[in-house]
Amino acid sequence: MAKKHLVSKTSEIPKGEHKIVRIGRVEIGLFNINDKFYAIPNVCPHQYGPICNNGAIKQGTLVGKRENNFKLEWDYKGEIVSCPWHQLQYHIPTGRCLSFPDMNLKTYTVTVEKDLIYIG
């Protein structure tokens, strides 16, 4: 995105919530995770489902990490969004698809100036 776009006030997205913003014809999900803001496209690469639509579940997920000797943990709390169509899970801060690393989402640069949120 070549230039910065004002998309929201911080007060419009409380901690743990998100909203859909639009830049031209592009829909973007803007998430507040612990007062840090992240932006991902509102399109799932799988079958183009509206991944960030209202009702998108922001949750953690079950993992068994090699570095923790594969002990099962509930991790990425509040950082996971599931596509409402087929429940593909994405890590919001990085755009990483948890099942298929070749289906990652792009992430947009988000900046906050005073109480205004910009993308781009």
Whichever of 1 and 62 has its CB closer to other proteins, that residue is 62
Query: Shortest approach of other proteins to residue 85 CB, angstroms?
Result: 10
DSSP collapsed to 3 states, 22-79: EECCEEEEEEEECCEEEEEECCCCCCCCCCCCCCCEEEEEEEECHHHCCCEEEEEEEE
The three-class DSSP label of residue 9 is strand
Query: Shortest approach of other proteins to residue 41 CB, angstroms?
Result: 18
Query: Shortest approach of other proteins to residue 56 CB, angstroms?
Result: 15
Residues binding other proteins (CB under 8 A): 46, 61-64, 66, 70, 72, 86-89, 98-101
Residue 52: how many CB atoms within 10 A of its CB? Answer: 29
Contact 62, 89 (CB under 8 A): no
d(CA 92, CA 60): 11
Whichever of 68 and 109 has its CB closer to other proteins, that residue is 68
Query: Shortest approach of other proteins to residue 63 CB, angstroms?
Result: 5
Whichever of 92 and 110 has its CB closer to other proteins, that residue is 92
